[in-house]
Structure 1
């Protein structure tokens, strides 16, 4: 499982080939490095038995988890999302104090939309992103045009039934990323990891066949269970993605 800094993957790949070992890369590398990208829910089968794959980034994992949950009932027509990204990881002290909001990149689309397409096929998704002065989590604002006539209760039910997605209520003291991180501590998680994608229940709304919702992404941990599933896929240890997901969830205490 290659978790080295970005752009080292190409040189490492030659070493893995020479050693005759399989490899799983992370979202910091380009999809073209392996020609395969991985998400446990969206395209597990594509990497089954493969030699090399790439687990998509924390943001792409978050988008894919919730979009793949609602697509079967909504029949997604088009997705537009605004990504509010943390300015640095907690340990990146070299970046120092931050006092600005930075379009990142200052163009549309950002790389997140094309990255989602590497695991969700021909989905029509466009994203834009900005950095803000926080280290805790990312936050996504999604606007999803849908073809089917569904109700808010059906969306909520789908999210409640999907593991690795957690509906949270701002009204119960979980109205910010800071409070979500405190909640992870209360769950007794190792390293305060929040593997699930929290979706704010109050944000879910449907207006004229357009679904709106807000979610958060703990960039340090949401891809960890995906890497475990990717190991099973590459090594052909489990052919059924849902069985692999269930095994990983049980082992890691994921809801």
Structure 2
């Protein structure tokens, strides 16, 4: 069993912890929090040993009825690998600790590529990970882009990508961020950071991205255009998506035309935390013009799509499962991830 430590038990960390616990070849040996919170109580309910950075805060946890297993360094020493799910920028500060202890670690998309030196996507570069000590799972938007671009590049070749990210303003539990009544260019300059981020995994792709933030909390929406190298048809493209284990199709017959309706659907499916782990490509939007111009809309759940990628990255860095498709199958099966549509 691979012993996994989750450093940072927040939006991503708690999801990764549950995903690790579901795997047949992994176990959660500890999670970390900096202060008493609702998530600390959830960790207790899940039975995850809880570690804290500052043992001076231990009395506050104990007063709240939450047992502290020790400090973060003790957790790291007991682990085979660390998933660093701390807020953006904190992972860079944690890297020297992992280096000192000789631990493999996975960072999230909030860190720069240079923090790990290797950015990861299970379908695109799984087999390149094994000899690295560190890896970075690219951001939610970049993960969604890499999946769909790589799939079409493998099938038809991709000459050029132009994409607009319509980003949610904040996560559902974030009461400190906005906007409330505005559409904010993020950034106003072109390109946004998403294209260069995609290039850390797919360096050969010609991509330009634009982004804006809107007043919603659940999912990003992408408007994507690609120039393909080989002529194809809409039916052939749909078949590529149907055969991809992490690209789902929001069928026209479902009547779903919004992120809100898609969230309701995942909730009705009984998905944990209403998570959409896969890309949600709107079938009705998939178009091929003049044989080589591809268009679509896709929904990306910002809290969820990187979760299975973290699980596969654990196996890839540890070298325990050599075949990417086998790891993806194991992860999906344990999570109950069957792509919608």
Q: TM-score, normalised by structure 1?
A: 0.98
Question: Hey, what's the Cα distance between the residues in 1 that align with 2:179 and 2:95?
Answer: 36
Q: CA deviation at 1:249?
A: 0.4
Question: Hey, what's the Cα distance between the residues in 2 that align with 1:92 and 1:161?
Answer: 36
Q: CA deviation at 1:96?
A: 5.4
Q: CA deviation at 1:65?
A: 0.8
Q: CA deviation at 1:49?
A: 3.4
Question: Hey, what's the Cα distance between the residues in 2 that align with 1:97 and 1:110?
Answer: 19
1:242 paired residue number:
325
- Residue 13, structure 1, aligned to residue 70, structure 2: no
2:239 paired residue number:
157
The structure showing larger relative contact order (alpha-carbon pairs under 8 Å, at least 6 residues apart) is 1
1:253 paired residue number:
336
Question: Hey, what's the Cα distance between the residues in 2 that align with 1:143 and 1:243?
Answer: 31
1:224 to 282, 286, 307: 307
- Residue 199, structure 1, aligned to residue 277, structure 2: no
Q: Deviations over 1:153-198 (max 9, x none)?
A: 0000000010011111244221110011011111111111110111
Question: Hey, what's the Cα distance between the residues in 2 that align with 1:127 and 1:154?
Answer: 26
Question: Hey, what's the Cα distance between the residues in 1 that align with 2:158 and 2:244?
Answer: 18
Q: Deviations over 1:94-122 (max 9, x none)?
A: 12561000000111000000000111121
Matched residue of 1:93: which SS? coil
- Residue 169, structure 1, aligned to residue 251, structure 2: yes
1:42 paired residue number:
124
Question: Hey, what's the Cα distance between the residues in 2 that align with 1:229 and 1:52?
Answer: 14
Matched residue of 2:218: which SS? coil
Whether the 8 Å contact between 1:47 and 1:53 is mirrored in structure 2 is yes
Gaps (5+ residues) in structure 2? 1-82
Matched residue of 1:95: which SS? coil
Whether the 8 Å contact between 2:178 and 2:215 is mirrored in structure 1 is no
2:48 paired residue number:
none
Structure 1 runs, 4 residues or longer, greater than 4 Å off: none
Q: TM-score, normalised by structure 2?
A: 0.73
Question: Hey, what's the Cα distance between the residues in 1 that align with 2:335 and 2:214?
Answer: 30
1:141 paired residue number:
223
2:272 paired residue number:
190
RMSD over aligned CA atoms reads 1.0
Q: How many aligned positions are there?
A: 255
